[in-house]
Structure 1
Amino acid sequence: MGLIPFLDLDLNLNSEHASSSSANPTATTSTAIVPKIEPKLEPLDESELHQSPVFQNPNPSFPFNSQQNTPEFSEPDLGLNALTRIPHQSSEESNVYSEYHRITELFQSAFAQELQKYGDGNVLDPNSLAIVPVPEENRLSTIVVTPSARKKRSAELVRVTDLGIEDQRYFRDIVRRTRMVYDSLRVFWMAEEEKRLGIGAGRRSRADLRSAAVLKERGLWLNRDKRIVGSIPGVYIGDLFFFRMELCVVGMHGQAQAGIDYVPASQSSNGEPIATSIVVSGGYEDDEDSGDVIIYTGHGGQDKHSRQCNNQKLEGGNLALERSMHYGIEVRVIRGFKYQGSASGKVYVYDGLYKIVDTWFDVGKSGFGVYKFKLSRIENQPEMGSVILRFAMNLRNSPLTARPMGYVSFDISMKKERIPITLFNDIDNDHEPMYYEYLVTTVFPPYAYHPAGMVNGCNCVSGCIDDCSCALKNGGEFAYDNNGTLIRGKPLIFECGPHCRCPPTCRNRVSQKGVKNRFEVFRSRETGWGVRSLELIQAGAFICEYAGVVLTREQAQVFTMNGDSLIYPNRFTERWAEWGDLSNIFSDYVRPAYPSIPPLDFAMDVSRMRNVACYMSHSSSPNVMVQFVLYDHNNFLFPHLMLFAMENIPPLREVSLDYGVADEWTGKLPICN
């Protein structure tokens, strides 16, 4: 692995303040800087400061004791203060920060010794793991991170470089599971509040803030014991987040509202602030964003409506950006957009690392002095997620204009799906998916419906209620919220069927409605055939059914001898148990076990008839899971294989499944090669 030396930011630097004043001739600084607490607020998020998470006991039907495990606060106005409180945590709770015990081992005499080559300062600690050296009495233990040590964010800066494949998978899984807990908890709070208040009942508490507060209380926030400069292990360029608090949870950006995240001078051992990340939302009149180059306006001097009303000062986040430029420290850039397909109405995308190459003091459009920072994107990084978002939007609106070559078909379903599924191949002349008849839903044998499989429907004329017969089949609770999001995975879900009197808009009719996103089957040099969406898919959302023709064991043996392509549902791993698993939140959480089903003893033939799901790649860390569902019959032996998203899936990112058994050479099922 590669270790990159870094400059030691020591108080003995002789030229630091001279550099600051030369870069900003109108600014004056002193050796003892006390940053003013005046963060640069992002205009799209200002309402978040005025909304408070309200902790209520969840429905007692959920399998844990909420009163023992739900945090209670006595203050009437929780706001964001609730996110900074960390009650006592028992030593028996697992410490998700153990991954940073591994990070610590990746560093050696980092960053301090390089400075000597330039005669730019003295080395305080040649074995320091910090960009900014931290006194021994203030450093966190690299072996044990106690709850008291996590009450305050660490000021120790480190950089992770050249992770191996296994390390990348390890950290990706840590981030993935943390985000899954956050999303599962947020969806759960929303569903519980819908039960308590009803649909459309006025202003609600913020489930995103509430979930973040609970995760912080449980010690589940990532990257709190080290301030990571550069890329966050396990977070990829192009990853999407719906909420600012989710950025805080994974350690991408530690400020709930401020646009500049930095180590303040009061925490830095050399008395200088250092910036680590910024959020660019495009809401400031003096900002300019051309993608690879950003002119970013500093904070300060704004009124409550984000209008410039005073001159800015070289302090706080402004000084941190200037100091990061001086020392050549890169910053993470997260862009925020209004996005119609988002759970919050906006989306935040990680666009990679930028260098601050220039800074100056200028007169802004409002006539007041503002600090401007020119950021340039570091080369040889993957394509920006914001660019992919715009490209996907163009593909949805004008596919031939955005991508004139490579289309084989604009709808391989031949109008059988509500939304067309395109076939794209700009690599070779393989048109294999066109040779199969498209199958919308699984074909079961006739005896699956009679007599034990007959469906007794509910009598909910205007829509299902919590105590209807279909709810009782599901153990007394519906599997979906009112937006059609899966609240938590179960061994089997009963949806309302053709014998139910409820309307098509019933909340318990989700997967039977078919595809609702624009999917594309595409040819890849790395994975053969694959599937991607042209739209953002939210965690917990329904994707499609895995469809085929059901065969008995005897029939499957005959088809196998003929070389036909078969899928065995019992080989799919039980990923459904991961979605909604709140065992890290509630100590008495019980994994759903009802309704239980016997081992599935059938296969599905996809050698002649298949749907879009048959082209999904295999992955040991998938973003899609299989959830068994019944709606058109009650035969437990023959459930539908419905696919749901396990995480937020950005547009044009490949969709993947854990088939359980895949080809050892290609990592994909034979039918996909």
Structure 2
Amino acid sequence: MVSVNPLQDLQLTLLPTTTTTTTTATTTLLTPKLEPKPEPYDDFQFQQPFLSTPTSNPTSQIQDEYNRISDAFRSAFASKTHFPQPSDDDDDASDPDSRALVPVPETQNQSVAVSSPTTPIPNPNKRSSELVRVTDYGANEQRYFREVIRKTRMIYESLRVFAEEEERQSRFWGRAGGGGRVRSDLKSASVMKAKGLWQNRDKRIVGNVPGVQIGDLFVYRMELCVVGLHGTPQAGIDFLPGNCSSNKEPIATSIVVSGGYEDDEDGGDVIIYTGQGGQDKNARQCGHQKLEGGNLALERSMHYGLEVRVIRGRKYEGSPSNKVYIYDGLYKVIASWFDVGKSGFGVYKFKLVRMDNQPEMGSAILRFAENLRNKPLEARPAGYISLDISMAKENMPVFLYNDIDNEHEPVYYEYIKTTVFPPYVYHGGACSGCDCVSVCGDDCLCARKNGGGFAYDRNGILLRGKPLIYECGSNCRCPPECRNRVSQNGVKNRFEVFRSRETGWGVRSLDLITAGSFICEFAGVVLTREQAQLFTMNGDNLVYPNRFACRWTEWGNLSEVFQDYVHPLYPSIPPLQFAMDVSRMRNVACYISHSSSPNVLVQLVLYDHSNMMFPHLMLFAMENIPPLRELSLDYGVSDEWNGKLRLCN
């Protein structure tokens, strides 16, 4: 069971973290007024009305799981005697082991992840003043919170892509409104905040945020706020203001290290972090810093020995924002001092040291992946079996790496770039194409075949999953760089097939794969139903495309944002009746592992023929996939022993 432990009054001696939600210990808790202080830069205005009722209808199983988890959150605050109501003239209150900086009425502790039409959601613009630490994760709780964060991030990315395309359409048709252009990442975050879809607004969390893993990568700064990892869109230090704490002292919860201050020193496990303040609009130090706000919060966190989350921001060429933010885990502030900076002005400096027994830093993995891309044999002198098992058939090399055993299986298969269909698939008549000479517009023939618009944005990102996508093909007059020729142009990332003790063979990318991006085709030799039956009689292994889970319905699902949202139903196709033989010919996709919470989806695509019975199986990213993180698919049928796909019928 999850335990959410409110942190005790910091005027008292800190007690060890408990794993239960009740205790017989007694402490004294000061009870100040609840007067939330607006935090710097957290002043977004919303033009759309606030709606409190998500339109999705979760199944009873999901609802039961939500109730179980939310009850675990509230269990620490179940007794009203633990949280006496604050009053102006009440200086003391008996509070058995509440461990909270600020007592919060029980009604303010309700989670807003799921709500009913009759349940109002608290004001999403107001952050909680309750400081808690979440402990005792079980496997079920880890999966639950991970799925909540995964779904939230998917909504954010889908909405951002949708907002960007909507802005482009408005400019194209001359419908742009007055005023300046609003960035899609800000618009997406604003809408989600108004809908009550931001996570962890009902509590200030010290330590790791449930569902966010070390190494998770974020393309936009606002997404840190959406998942509750860092609560301010611009300030480098996120903290609980002093007027919200029982002893009137601020407490820091997270920092962003992005090289914005010239006196910063980042050594990985050890950081010399420069406090905030004293800079002009060009980020140049022009005045002395003061021990207030975030600077004082970091000093107080050092005094009380509280951990601080560290997010690193760095430039990254493959990112849509040209920057990425990586969560690198928990650090402790062990020293602070006032010093003269390089510019000659006084600055506050803080020494942070990474806590032990944590996974490897995501920023370190990012640097290692960069070395692999440039000089693989220098970065890893041993373990490489091949630097390109595709034999130059793919646009990018596909590495083969094994430092565990002597297994070389992938080199014994013939590598194919795309699926091999029976000849008669192409005999059903030529696939009609568009007559667009330069740029395909939304009124061209291929757009109409897709239901009146294209499936991709101008950057080749999948706008939303569909039952089937028609891409421009060989009979179209548009150029190869047409926006409707995404999956047929092949891979754009460098992949590595690697040996794993957990999953056997797996696949990871050396590059960042952004959400909605094309990955590769799942390729094999197509067999009819009759041929498949003959093959299985001889014990050959086959892949059945109709068993893949319909994860395409999740990408672009904005049902919790727009009340009238419906899943795309056009173009519709009949059930797939073919199998794929990968016993002799296959590609990199055949080594992707199975997962019930995958980061890759299967999207059906037609471009080189018009036979809807035999579409291509194209793979797209469901989330931002950091370099060297394993790719996973929901095959629908998995081997109960090792989680890998059982290929045989």
Q: TM-score range by the shorter chain?
A: 0.7 to 0.9
Q: Using the alignment, how far apart are the partners of 1:297 and 1:411 within structure 2?
A: 45
DSSP-derived class of the 1:255 partner? coil
Match runs of 1:392-411 below 5 Å: 392-411=369-388
Aligned to 2:205: 228
Aligned to 1:45: none
Q: Residues 330-378 of structure 1, C-alpha deviation per residue, up to 9 Å, x if partnerless?
A: 0110000011100111000000000111111111112222111111100
* 1:435 aligned onto 2:399: no
Query: What amino acid sits opposite 2:96 in the alignment?
Result: P
Aligned to 1:485: 461
Aligned to 1:619: 595
Q: Using the alignment, how far apart are the partners of 1:556 and 1:13 within structure 2?
A: 70
DSSP-derived class of the 2:44 partner? helix
Aligned to 2:165: 191
Q: Tell me by how many angstroms 1:568 deviates.
A: 0.4
Aligned with residue 332 of structure 1, among 291, 300, 309: 309
Q: 1:89 to 1:567 in 2, by over 3 A?
A: same
Deviates more, 1:157-166 or 1:387-396: 157-166
Q: 1:522 to 1:106 in 2, by over 3 A?
A: farther
Q: Tell me by how many angstroms 1:563 deviates.
A: 1.6
Q: Using the alignment, how far apart are the partners of 1:142 and 1:177 within structure 2?
A: 16
DSSP-derived class of the 2:333 partner? strand
Q: Tell me by how many angstroms 1:133 deviates.
A: 3.3
Can you give the 5+ residue segments of structure 1 that lack an aligned partner in the other structure? Answer: 15-30, 40-48, 50-78, 114-121
Aligned to 1:388: 365
Given that residues 539 and 647 in structure 1 are in contact (C-alpha distance below 8 angstroms), is that contact kept between their aligned partners in structure 2? yes
Query: What amino acid sits opposite 2:143 in the alignment?
Result: R
Given that residues 86 and 151 in structure 1 are in contact (C-alpha distance below 8 angstroms), is that contact kept between their aligned partners in structure 2? no
Aligned with residue 443 of structure 2, among 467, 476, 480: 467
Match runs of 1:154-173 below 5 Å: 154-173=128-147
Aligned to 2:528: 552
DSSP-derived class of the 1:160 partner? strand
Q: 1:173 to 1:12 in 2, by over 3 A?
A: closer
* 1:132 aligned onto 2:95: no
Given that residues 6 and 132 in structure 2 are in contact (C-alpha distance below 8 angstroms), is that contact kept between their aligned partners in structure 1? no
Q: Tell me by how many angstroms 1:305 deviates.
A: 1.8
Q: Using the alignment, how far apart are the partners of 2:2 and 2:280 within structure 1?
A: 46
Given that residues 241 and 348 in structure 1 are in contact (C-alpha distance below 8 angstroms), is that contact kept between their aligned partners in structure 2? yes
DSSP-derived class of the 1:313 partner? coil
* 1:656 aligned onto 2:632: yes
Aligned with residue 70 of structure 2, among 92, 101, 122: 101
Q: 1:553 to 1:36 in 2, by over 3 A?
A: closer
Q: Tell me by how many angstroms 1:89 deviates.
A: 2.9
Aligned to 2:232: 255
DSSP-derived class of the 1:537 partner? coil
Aligned to 1:587: 563
Q: 1:307 to 1:508 in 2, by over 3 A?
A: same
DSSP-derived class of the 1:395 partner? helix
Q: Tell me by how many angstroms 1:270 deviates.
A: 2.6
Aligned to 2:543: 567
DSSP-derived class of the 1:270 partner? coil
Given that residues 52 and 120 in structure 2 are in contact (C-alpha distance below 8 angstroms), is that contact kept between their aligned partners in structure 1? no
Q: Using the alignment, how far apart are the partners of 2:523 and 2:6 within structure 1?
A: 54
Q: 1:654 to 1:91 in 2, by over 3 A?
A: closer
Given that residues 155 and 227 in structure 1 are in contact (C-alpha distance below 8 angstroms), is that contact kept between their aligned partners in structure 2? yes
Identity fraction in percent: 67
Aligned to 1:180: 154
* 1:423 aligned onto 2:400: yes
TM-score (norm 2): 0.88
Q: 1:135 to 1:549 in 2, by over 3 A?
A: closer
Aligned with residue 51 of structure 2, among 85, 89, 97: 89
Q: 1:255 to 1:435 in 2, by over 3 A?
A: same
Aligned to 1:267: 244
Can you give the 5+ residue segments of structure 2 that lack an aligned partner in the other structure? Answer: 15-31, 83-91
Aligned to 2:499: 523
DSSP-derived class of the 1:350 partner? strand
Q: Residues 425-467 of structure 1, C-alpha deviation per residue, up to 9 Å, x if partnerless?
A: 0000000001100011111111111125x20111101121110
Deviates more, 1:158-167 or 1:220-229: 158-167
Q: Residues 203-246 of structure 1, C-alpha deviation per residue, up to 9 Å, x if partnerless?
A: 84300000000001110000011111111111110000011110
Q: Residues 641-670 of structure 1, C-alpha deviation per residue, up to 9 Å, x if partnerless?
A: 000000000000000000000111111024
Query: What amino acid sits opposite 2:261 in the alignment?
Result: Y
DSSP-derived class of the 2:329 partner? strand
Query: What amino acid sits opposite 2:149 in the alignment?
Result: V
Q: Using the alignment, how far apart are the partners of 1:366 and 1:568 within structure 2?
A: 65
Q: Residues 228-272 of structure 1, C-alpha deviation per residue, up to 9 Å, x if partnerless?
A: 111111111000001111000000001010000011012223311
What RMSD over aligned residues (CA atoms) do the two structures have, in Å? 3.0
Q: 1:92 to 1:546 in 2, by over 3 A?
A: closer
Q: 1:316 to 1:13 in 2, by over 3 A?
A: farther
Q: Using the alignment, how far apart are the partners of 1:148 and 1:102 within structure 2?
A: 18
Aligned to 1:323: 300
Match runs of 1:373-384 below 5 Å: 373-384=350-361
Query: What amino acid sits opposite 2:583 in the alignment?
Result: S
Aligned to 2:578: 602
Aligned to 2:85: none
Aligned to 2:18: none
DSSP-derived class of the 2:332 partner? strand
Aligned to 2:325: 348
* 1:238 aligned onto 2:215: yes
Q: Tell me by how many angstroms 1:196 deviates.
A: 2.4
Q: 1:161 to 1:612 in 2, by over 3 A?
A: same
Aligned to 1:9: 9
Q: 1:2 to 1:187 in 2, by over 3 A?
A: closer
Q: Using the alignment, how far apart are the partners of 2:106 and 2:573 within structure 1?
A: 57
Q: Using the alignment, how far apart are the partners of 1:569 and 1:137 within structure 2?
A: 50
Deviates more, 1:549-558 or 1:139-148: 139-148
Query: What amino acid sits opposite 1:171 in the alignment?
Result: F
Q: 1:308 to 1:537 in 2, by over 3 A?
A: same
